């Protein structure tokens, strides 16, 4: 259902895209001229890459843009054979009457194998006049240099909390969901700049209660509120190991957190802990990094978290 929500509220033109002003200004110029070179959209998930590609195609070709667009998810069709058959076959056919080129949109292009990227580079050379490629990826470094040099590269950034909050409030109003300001702030906080994640968080909370509150958001997203996480650090500083350990366990049980989730959330909140000085924050960061590494490598979660708590208490305890 969340994908339907995202599709329903997706911007239909490039000018409607929020939070990517530098990118939007350049794409609007392309939509006005009705032409563009090969493009590469790189950035974290949920920041508008796929939306920008589809909106640009619609601006250039109009409502019938689908007939002049081949959309593929490269993570599903990542092998050489897919590029040689499906992509090449579409690229070699003539554009529909009234247009001078067609568009091939490869989503998650960083999943393409090296051989497939080699074949893609050759197709981009051969059919440059009648076919434009838009490549979307999370990590542009995984795209070979020969392809990058043929594309105009657009860097998408995580959306700031203000843009996420504004959009979420608009979606809630359209969908008839009662969303208060604190709940909107909570969604913007837990989404980490990913608007798709924000919409999904709103949907999950709204499915339980049409009156979405701050507590409901944190409960349904398996995220501990800032005051709970800072309370752990404060307990380490003032109360000692046993109370701090008990508080850590209460947070994990209440919000259903795994060990790595807890460490990541503590790390994100560490910078906001005003009762800790910079030296203490540096020390705690190293302790949490060591704990996270040990858990990822297979160390026992309970023991590693207790060891982390003990070290933090030792370093910052009064």
- Dihedrals phi, psi of 256, to nearest 5 degrees: 65, 45
Kindly report, as residue ranges, where domains of CATH 1.20.272.10 are found in the chain.
226-316
pLDDT score recorded for residue 185:
93
- State the CATH class of domain 2-155: alpha beta
More confident residue, 67 or 291: 291
Distance CA 186, CA 198 (A): 10
pLDDT band with cut points at 50, 70 and 90 for residue 228:
very high
Tell me the per-residue pLDDT of 118-161, one tens digit each, with 9 for 90 and over: 888 888 888 888 889 999 999 888 899 999 999 899 999 888 88
DSSP per residue over the chain, as a string?
-HHHHHHHT--SSGGG--S-HHHHHHHHHHHHHT----EEEES-TTSSHHHHHHHHHHHHH-TTGGGGEEEEETTTS-SHHHIIIIIHHHHHSPPPTT-S-EEEEEETGGGS-HHHHHHHHHHHHHTTTTEEEEEEES-GGGS-HHHHTTSEEEE--PPPHHHHHHHHHHHHHHHT-EE-HHHHHHHHHHHTT-HHHHHHHHHHHHHH-SEE-HHHHHHHTT---HHHHHHHHHHHHHT-HHHHHHHHHHHHHHHT--HHHHHHHHHHHHTT-TTS-HHHHHHHHHHHHHHHHHHHTT--HHHHHHHHHHHHHHHH--
pLDDT band with cut points at 50, 70 and 90 for residue 1:
very low
pLDDT score recorded for residue 120:
86
Kindly report, as residue ranges, where domains of CATH 3.40.50.300 are found in the chain.
2-155
Instruction: Determine the topology of domain 226-316 in CATH.
Output: Zinc Finger, Delta Prime; domain 3 (1.20.272)
* DSSP-derived pairing of the beta strands 102-107 and 178-179: unpaired
Tell me the per-residue pLDDT of 43-65, one tens digit each, with 9 for 90 and over: 888 888 888 888 888 888 888 88
Distance CA 278, CA 125 (A): 53
pLDDT band with cut points at 50, 70 and 90 for residue 77:
low
Cβ-contact 234, 274 below 8 angstroms: no
Tell me the per-residue pLDDT of 5-40, one tens digit each, with 9 for 90 and over: 555 656 667 767 777 888 888 888 888 888 888 999
pLDDT score recorded for residue 8:
60
Cβ-contact 156, 45 below 8 angstroms: no
Tokens for 251, please give them: 């947070």
pLDDT score recorded for residue 10:
64
pLDDT score recorded for residue 119:
85
Distance CA 243, CA 288 (A): 19
pLDDT score recorded for residue 214:
92
DSSP per residue over 262-291, as a string?
HHHHHHHHHTT-TTS-HHHHHHHHHHHHHH
Kindly report, as residue ranges, where domains of CATH 1.10.8.60 are found in the chain.
166-220
pLDDT of 67 higher than 80: yes
pLDDT score recorded for residue 189:
92
Tell me the per-residue pLDDT of 168-185, one tens digit each, with 9 for 90 and over: 998 898 888 899 889 999
Tokens for 97, please give them: 């009457």
pLDDT score recorded for residue 210:
84
Distance CA 21, CA 91 (A): 31
Of 52, 60, 54, 55, nearest in space to 34 by CA: 60
pLDDT of 80 higher than 80: no
| pTM, full prediction | 0.80
Instruction: Determine the topology of domain 166-220 in CATH.
Output: Helicase, Ruva Protein; domain 3 (1.10.8)
Across residues 261-281, what is the average pLDDT? 91
Tokens for 175, please give them: 């969908």
């Amino acid at each position: 259902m969340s994908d339907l929500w995202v599709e329903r509220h997706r911007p239909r033109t490039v000018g409607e895209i929020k939070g990517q002003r530098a990118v939007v200004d350049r794409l609007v110029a392309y939509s006005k001229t009705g032409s563009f070179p090969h493009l590469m959209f790189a950035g974290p998930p949920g920041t508008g890459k796929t939306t920008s590609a589809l909106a640009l195609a619609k601006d250039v070709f109009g409502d019938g843009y689908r007939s002049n667009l081949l959309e593929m998810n490269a993570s599903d069709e990542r092998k050489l054979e897919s590029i040689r058959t499906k992509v090449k076959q579409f690229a070699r056919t003539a554009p529909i009457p009234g247009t001078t080129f067609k568009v091939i949109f490869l989503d998650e292009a960083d999943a393409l194998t090296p051989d497939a990227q080699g074949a893609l580079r050759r197709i981009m050379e051969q059919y440059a006049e009648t076919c434009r490629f838009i490549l979307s990826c999370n990590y542009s470094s995984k795209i070979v240099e020969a392809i990058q040099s043929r594309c105009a590269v657009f860097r998408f950034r995580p959306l700031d909390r203000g843009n996420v909050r504004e959009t979420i409030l608009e979606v809630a109003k359209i969908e008839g969901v009662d969303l208060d300001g604190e709940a909107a702030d909570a969604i913007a906080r837990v989404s980490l700049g990913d608007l798709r994640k924000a919409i999904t968080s709103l949907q999950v909370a709204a499915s339980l209660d049409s009156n979405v509150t701050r507590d409901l958001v944190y409960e349904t997203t398996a995220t501990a509120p800032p005051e709970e996480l800072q309370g752990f650090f404060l307990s380490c500083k003032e109360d000692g190991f046993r109370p701090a350990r008990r508080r850590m366990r209460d947070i994990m049980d209440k919000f259903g957190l795994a060990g790595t989730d807890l460490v990541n959330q503590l790390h994100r909140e560490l910078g906001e802990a005003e009762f800790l000085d910079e030296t203490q924050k540096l020390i705690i960061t190293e302790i949490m990094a060591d704990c996270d590494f040990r858990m990822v490598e297979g160390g026992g979660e309970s023991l590693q978290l207790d060891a982390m708590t003990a070290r933090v208490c030792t370093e910052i305890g009064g």
